[in-house]
Structure 1
């Protein structure tokens, strides 16, 4: 489907839970109130939205959380989404804590890719960032994932004064392993606003000093905005998602569905459509598709993260969308 700025929107990120088994300082540093089951989308509702979205041209689905694997029977949901007509690719983002026990099942689906969040290779720093002593478990799960043959990406959020000295070591995982390592600039959402980001260009410069023969990776890798570099010496690739320092809004192809059924056209703003309430109020499949369609058509031109105060983005949005305020929810409530 094409939005008002002629961008093809074919990718939907679906958060299936707010819950997580880690307490990362920039995401969910404290325990949260547990949502009642009735407060989040049922699997049947998620599948209904996927079917409607696929009929509008959504071809790629990313399953996120919170931590998606903590929700009971998440594997079966992923399997059913993968079997939905029109959905060509289904991938998963996880913190890796439950990977070891679920990798075999994910490979049988077969899942098209897994992104593993890993900000450090130091067990002590891992505990400092996540609040849990789970590094060995995550590392073991990551190794099993790589051996399974599922395409693997490692997501690292650089943080000044936290994992800054490790970034080259993390980058070099792509030298030694058949993985894509991606450095993602800290998003100024929720607790992330308290952290000073490290720009992707700074990290790229460090890598170039050690590997002067690197080249841009021309092959498209995945469906997101990462720009990749590679070398004949490496087993993998290194990518940079520079959402703040280098906007990629002109080529944005995604929408987001929160676990509470809120469809967001843009991560930056609090705008969206409450699909859960609409479905539980009895909308038909055609009406549901119309709601999704109108959200896509009115997707804003660009984010405005460089402005800290509440603001209105320049283009108007239809009456179905809430007012154009900056997003105030924490990232785990939106979906990673």
Structure 2
């Protein structure tokens, strides 16, 4: 079927507050981004290229009850020792600092699998009780594999959660078991449907296509999502899993995903202005043959990086600030917290950490090295 506007958008070459160096390098070039410390007059979490982080990703645990082969090895994971993991109170304090003093407006709770965190509802409730510097309730969402969501969806909604993203790479049971190394697809689907029944909207489905494993099922996954009113987003596989699990040439690219979908669906490009700093480029899927229409997104983190528009900062489960998903270094807030640091001291260190953010993730740079941590330890 015809596809209108197949081309993925290039990274904006000029953007308010971004200098020429970002324009040249944010499409994937490396760079340390460090130009001294931020001026005391710089408010919020601004980096040296003019980007401002207003979206905080909070990892609540590195543990997971699936073993997706692109994310972690089948066996032998060294989990964080419990004393190293931030307590609920420590997480709540840092979230409060980010929202009330550092300009954060959106938060997403991740893992590992965040539903394994017993205090999740309390943390979400404390977050939604906060107000941003503009007096608004921070937008709060959750990324999950949906195992256990059937039991907890209503409680999460009562705590203030409004949106979820679910990682789901196949709706074929055998394929799901192959990718995740666990035969749990019925439990995942039950969790997703329970979330919808509890009123969580929108429900976004995140899928990674693996060549020769599930890439031929892209159309089936989209048809399932459209039928249930969920928004599917395909994400290019990134070098964040076990050693040697990622090869650029084996990655299913965004262009390939579009080619596969166009064989079955009519896609129309949406207004690029809708995207803003969101990672996904979205297409409208036209209704056909009695099937409902909807939207589909593609996150081309590798082949079409969007670093110039990045507005994220990350807090790991053990209290480290990461200014980029692919950053080589981290900044320790846990030690400061437990050493009696004031909020002002914590805020200043966080600001300095973000000031040093690189222009781009640098995957295409010959010197690129993947982070020492896997995705489950960083937080998605």
TM-score by length of 1: 0.90
The one of 101, 108, 117 equivalent to 1:71 is 117
- The structural deviation recorded for 1:148 is 2.6
The 1:52–1:61 alpha-carbon spacing in structure 2 relative to 1, beyond 3 Å, is: same
- The structural deviation recorded for 1:49 is 0.9
1:209 is matched with 263
Residue aligned with 1:172, SS? helix
CA contact (8 A) 2:146 2:192 kept: yes
Residue aligned with 1:78, SS? helix
1:111 is matched with 161
Matched, 1:249 2:299: no
For structure 1, the 5+ residue unaligned runs are 312-325
By relative contact order (CA 8 Å, sep 6+), the higher-ranking structure is 2
2:57 is matched with 13
Residue aligned with 1:48, SS? helix
In structure 1, what is the Cα distance between the partners aligned to 2:311 and 2:327? 16
Matched, 1:57 2:115: no
Residue aligned with 2:123, SS? helix
The 1:217–1:121 alpha-carbon spacing in structure 2 relative to 1, beyond 3 Å, is: farther
Q: Comparing 111-120 with 76-85, which one deviates more in the overlay?
A: 76-85
CA contact (8 A) 1:215 1:231 kept: no
The 1:21–1:213 alpha-carbon spacing in structure 2 relative to 1, beyond 3 Å, is: closer
- The structural deviation recorded for 1:223 is 6.2
Matched, 1:188 2:236: no
The 1:185–1:193 alpha-carbon spacing in structure 2 relative to 1, beyond 3 Å, is: farther
1:45 is matched with 90
CA contact (8 A) 1:174 1:235 kept: no
**Structure 1 residues 183-208: Cα deviation after superposition (integer angstroms, max 9, x where no partner):** 00001123275242101111112223
In structure 2, what is the Cα distance between the partners aligned to 1:93 and 1:192? 24
Q: CA RMSD in A?
A: 2.0
**Structure 1 residues 141-171: Cα deviation after superposition (integer angstroms, max 9, x where no partner):** 1112223331200000010011111111112
Matched, 1:168 2:219: yes
Matched, 1:258 2:312: no
In structure 1, what is the Cα distance between the partners aligned to 2:70 and 2:128? 31
In structure 1, what is the Cα distance between the partners aligned to 2:260 and 2:224? 15
Aligned length: 322
For structure 2, the 5+ residue unaligned runs are 1-43
- The structural deviation recorded for 1:297 is 1.9
1:123 is matched with 173
- The structural deviation recorded for 1:37 is 2.1
In structure 2, what is the Cα distance between the partners aligned to 1:193 and 1:155? 23
